[in-house]
Structure 1
């Protein structure tokens, strides 16, 4: 697999690997530490994640994941509909109370844009029925929507018609202690300016909006202009795929600055099986906390933090590991014999190794808890430590959706590494983005790493930044970023074959004191030169002189067949590490 991006299945796997915050027992209503935290809390719309869950299951899953509110969307398996008897309405209210879940709203499909007055009247009457249901079960709002502007009707006429219907529904709702929340929805009507015109036409204080996180909100990568039009009317906020590229961090900041203290409701459009609900929602909750509670830019004090120093006991102590990447063509099926990670572990055990490095590229999709447990058991029974978990990422994006996506990817693998018992994940910096200076790219990389640090520290996983081309092709830039991050949870993954400089061995020696993991290559390549055999004895001396204590992992990339070459190079390294 070339790259694991954040889709629904991957988010589920991140949740299955465990949520750092929830595992630490933090309450769902507790704001994250950060620049003021956030007063928003996360809830769930049954559309469409929980479409097929009955009421008890829905409430149980929300409680287990730390969510504190639910919007019951009509026609779903929960069965919360106007057809409920008074006794059943009381039961819904009691079940929610017992679960500690607020029944914040009812999601209807009441629409008021039709050119047929009879259709509009039926929808108004249906809305009134939902208002009474909301009153009886203790819900605060009833969500309605427009669904477009009919082509055959002047837009201003439809806008006035929708506004009039909303005003009637709003007055009925106010009489019963309920609000009407009109969803920003539909072709044309989802445009912020059109929705503002509808609200102005309505003019009733009990009518507000459900912000729907639509692409039409975004202008030049920002939702600020749409928020300026609609912000004062927001009574609820639907959030979709947090990893989608929508500027959620900006939206949450604007909501927080406006004093919004209601709910953001997860509305992901793909149904989830009930047995997968808790891990999915836990993961989603963790990503929400990251986006809603962490400042996009670090405070100046963090930038000026002192350089981390790895404080080791006197004397070097090194053990031998093998990277799964060494057998990449077998693990991806390009060469025979085909291999999976369990087979790789068994081969490594036969080579008298101390540990294995399990590269993320070769995990199945989806990564299940059962698969992780199986790998962990296999390594233990074979007498092998899991010494690291390399991942792919790009950390040079400025603050915004692309950075959020990359941070979410790394946070996901922090959780997986922690469940495996892996002490570190290897991360990349990446290339400078178009128009970026090296200094800007370095700063973006340091900021992205900082965004991952709370998760890494809570799960006990070190972030190991590799000298892997791009902005960290040379030692000075790599050292600058790690020192700027200034955390003991961030160090260097020292790849001895990746400095293509005038003095690769000198650069290895400069970086070795901050190394938390080491990958040894059998070749080096000086600037402008050809590949040559690496002086493994010299590399081991450099590591020993630096006082390195940890695993030395062979990551074989040379042309010779690895099935033949790897055992030979491991034998040489074993002799050098033992002092031979």
Structure 2
């Protein structure tokens, strides 16, 4: 693997255990420290005080304990990922949404994290061509993201949006937002797997968005043309998808890994496991497969 790519894990990969209380954030930090992962992303699950991942509902002392635990374990906290929406068909309170995300910028700063991903729109799941809606939403999304990026710059933090949620999941829509915001500290969290949710080929579109990547998510899916039964969801075009261990699914991750090398990508890459297998098994095997793929690229 290229020494310029630092491989780690998103805390969302531990969702099976975090959601049941079988693990907490300190257990996750210890697991990362004992593994060969090199960093940990924090994916916020809710704003509540009882959220298993640090949130705006946590007090300063709890946030400080997480930062201290990570530092003591030698685990780099690389990114804070939060949901957000500045536009939906029903309308949004944009100033309130901006204020909430800027509060998360302060949480990231307190945790010593220099990167943050925030979503930008609801996932309406509407049928048909939503291009007119996207054109109407684009100025609102750009203005809100720009304001947050400018605030984050005062904290030394780079912000980003992910190809996440059908409405802004396509590669070109992500680029249009990044280019529209036009701030040096606003980029994209590039999830190599999420493109298939809108029926785009990661091998073709990952290279298009790599120049704008703040961090890369390595993910895999099983893809089927007919209904395989329970546990699958539909792509926008109607294909059946299910999360897989990185390297075990149907995505051409060999080509994706080669694109990372050819683009000279330097920075963090994270396993994001969403499969049906035990999450610790999925993460462990995903890390091993990712190292093999990146080394062979």
User: Which bracket does the TM-score occupy, shorter chain normalised?
Assistant: 0.7 to 0.9
Partner of residue 13 from structure 2, selected from 296, 306, 326: 326
* TM-score, normalised by the number of residues in structure 1: 0.43
Deviation at 1:449, TM superposition (A): 0.3
Match of 1:556 in 2: 273
Partner of residue 430 from structure 1, selected from 121, 143, 160: 121
Match of 1:451 in 2: 147
Q: Deviations over 1:517-573 (max 9, x none)?
A: 111112265754333433333222111212211111001001111122210111111
Q: Is the CA contact (8 Å cut-off) linking 1:497 and 1:524 kept in structure 2?
A: no
Summarize the alignment of residues 111-510 of structure 1 with structure 2, pairs less than 5 Å apart.
Answer: 317-333=4-20, 338-361=22-45, 362-363=53-54, 366-396=57-87, 402-431=93-122, 437-500=133-196, 501-510=199-208
Structure number with bigger Rg: 1
Q: Is the CA contact (8 Å cut-off) linking 1:494 and 1:518 kept in structure 2?
A: yes
Q: Deviations over 1:67-113 (max 9, x none)?
A: xxxxxxxxxxxxxxxxxxxxxxxxxxxxxxxxxxxxxxxxxxxxxxx
**2:240 matched to 1:530?**
yes
Cα RMSD, aligned residues only: 2.5
* TM-score, normalised by the number of residues in structure 2: 0.81
2:114 and 2:88 mapped to 1: Cα distance? Answer: 26
1:449 and 1:431 mapped to 2: Cα distance? Answer: 14
Q: Deviations over 1:151-178 (max 9, x none)?
A: xxxxxxxxxxxxxxxxxxxxxxxxxxxx
**2:225 matched to 1:512?**
no
Deviation at 1:331, TM superposition (A): 1.0
1:524 and 1:481 mapped to 2: Cα distance? Answer: 29
Match of 2:231 in 1: none
Considering Cα pairs closer than 8 Å and 6+ residues apart, tell me whether 1 or 2 has the greater RCO. Answer: 2
When residues 365 and 478 of structure 1 are mapped into structure 2, their CA distance, relative to the original with a 3 A threshold, is closer
When residues 397 and 446 of structure 1 are mapped into structure 2, their CA distance, relative to the original with a 3 A threshold, is farther
1:365 and 1:403 mapped to 2: Cα distance? Answer: 18
Unaligned runs of 5+ in 1: 1-314
Q: Deviations over 1:486-532 (max 9, x none)?
A: 11111010111111224232111211111111111122657543334
1:371 and 1:545 mapped to 2: Cα distance? Answer: 42
Q: Between Structure 1 and Structure 2, how many residues are aligned?
A: 262
